[in-house]
Amino acid sequence: MSLNIGEIFGVKIKIHYTWLLIFFLITWSLAVGYVPLQFPGLSDATYWIIGIISAISLFVSVLAHELAHSYVALKQGIDVPSITLFFFGGVSQIAEEPKSPNHEAKMAAVGPLSSFAISALFFLLWFVAVTLDLGPFIVAPFSYIALINALLGGFNFLPAFPLDGGRVLRAVLWKWKNNLIVATKLSTKISEAIAYIMIGTGFFMIFAYSLFTGLWIVFIGWFLKSGSEASLKQTLISQALSDIKVKEIMNSQVVSISPTLTIANAVEQYFSNYTHTGFPVTNDGIVQGIITLGDLKKFMEDERQSTLVGDVMTPRKKMIVVSPDEPAVEAILKFSKNNIGRLPVLKEDKLVGIITRSDLMKAIRTRIQTEKILPLEVFENV
Ligand SMILES: [Zn+2]
């Protein structure tokens, strides 16, 4: 659902498709609303060009904010595979939970702080541009960039988890209580309270003041509420699975198929005898690919006699796999990102095991029951 546009500090930059719509909406609302109000008497074309320049500046501002987070994360040795810009903000896909309250506070605070710094800088530039009378092509975007970065910094500084301000708050609580889970639960509660206040205010505004502004506030409140729940779940899961590796919960008795078998034989000897819906394909223990029930269904009965497993399997290059030494949390990410149910575990192309969603769930449940760290219902639909 997103477009790759490049790479900075080794972090992939992606744009979510919704951004394109927002880009148009922002350009449009600037070109027919904000800019003509600020600079009356110019041509429509001028308004649209200023609108486009400003919308691009918003894009760059959001990107700068996210890059600030990523830069600090990378410096702390935390991997950041990608940044996705979407809707009214961006998301840095930060691979793990921060290691300490100080790390988290720094990583979170740097985003709004850079937005405020950009805002201050452009406010100064705007002031110079107005003083030198440089004209609307420069003055308008400068004033817009100053304004939008102040808003961006301000919104993200709300103490509502998982916004940056909420993360700073969580770090403070974490340091105080000396427990990440307790801190996360507390900040989720605070964040929910803020979300409900926003939703309530939004509904009030829909009736009393303006439908559009009201809806917008309800939407942001709802976004905060679901965002904080999701982040709580993510923290709880990664805590439950912390320091568990794939090899500790994988199943090392893997049934695999030879690539030279016909699919008729594969159905008869494997798919009908086991309940699995997919099998790794190996040759002397080296993985060649994976074959699933879905691959077989494409073939009619008579074609199955003459078609080989090796010809229809998903080849090794396209397989999604884990290594035995990877953290189990990594497997969860791969399951949900690719919407698959099982992952072959490979050590240098040699098949050493297989891990399924239910193996992971079992590991989480055992951990919860033995250590009583978390409520069970949190994991009902991982
Ligand atoms: Zn941020």
Model confidence over 245-292: pLDDT tens digits?
888 888 888 888 889 888 888 888 888 888 777 888 988 888 888 888
Q: Which of 157, 192, 209 is the last residue of a domain?
A: 157
Higher pLDDT, residue 237 or 251: 251
Higher pLDDT, residue 172 or 376: 172
Tell me the residue length of the chain: 382
C-alpha 72 to ligand 1 mean position (Å): 12
Is 171 inside any structural domain?
no
C-alpha 231 to ligand 1 mean position (Å): 14
Cα 35–Cα 40–Cα 45 angle in degrees, nearest 5: 60
Give the 3-state secondary structure of residue 88: coil
C-alpha 62 to ligand 1 mean position (Å): 9
Are 253 and 118 part of one and the same domain?
Answer: no
Domain count, the chain: 2
* Bridging pattern class, strands 342-347 and 350-356: antiparallel
Tell me the two tokens of residue 194: 């803020």
Sign of CA dihedral 324, 328, 333, 338: positive
pTM for the model stands at: 0.66
C-alpha 113 to ligand 1 mean position (Å): 9
* Alpha-carbon span 45 to 21, nearest angstrom: 20
Are 9 and 151 part of one and the same domain?
Answer: yes
Are 7 and 152 part of one and the same domain?
Answer: yes
Are 124 and 258 part of one and the same domain?
Answer: no
Instruction: Please report, for the chain, how many H helices and E strands are present, in that order.
Output: 15, 9
Is 233 inside any structural domain?
no
Is 198 inside any structural domain?
no
- What pLDDT is stored for residue 93 in this prediction? 62
Q: Is the pLDDT of residue 54 over 90?
A: no
Question: pLDDT tens-digit profile of 127-165?
Answer: 999 999 888 778 888 888 899 899 989 988 988 887 889
C-alpha 323 to ligand 1 mean position (Å): 32
- What pLDDT is stored for residue 382 in this prediction? 37
CATH of the domain at 262: 3.10.580.10
Is 52 inside any structural domain?
yes
Q: Residue 251: which domain range?
A: 246-379
Is 165 inside any structural domain?
no
Question: pLDDT tens-digit profile of 301-334?
Answer: 778 888 888 888 888 888 888 888 888 878 877 8
DSSP tag of 215: H
C-alpha 304 to ligand 1 mean position (Å): 54
What percentage of the chain has pLDDT greater than the value 70? 93
- What pLDDT is stored for residue 370 in this prediction? 66
CB 377 within 8 A of CB 364: no
- What pLDDT is stored for residue 381 in this prediction? 39
Q: Is the pLDDT of residue 372 over 60?
A: no
Q: Which of 126, 157, 188 is the last residue of a domain?
A: 157
Q: Which of 83-97, 195-209, 214-228, 360-374 has the highest mean pLDDT?
A: 195-209
CB neighbours (10 Å) of residue 220?
Answer: 18
Are 135 and 265 part of one and the same domain?
Answer: no
Is 172 inside any structural domain?
no
C-alpha 206 to ligand 1 mean position (Å): 28
The H or E element spanning position 366 is helix 357-371
C-alpha 138 to ligand 1 mean position (Å): 27
Are 142 and 255 part of one and the same domain?
Answer: no
Q: Which of 125, 142, 157 is the last residue of a domain?
A: 157
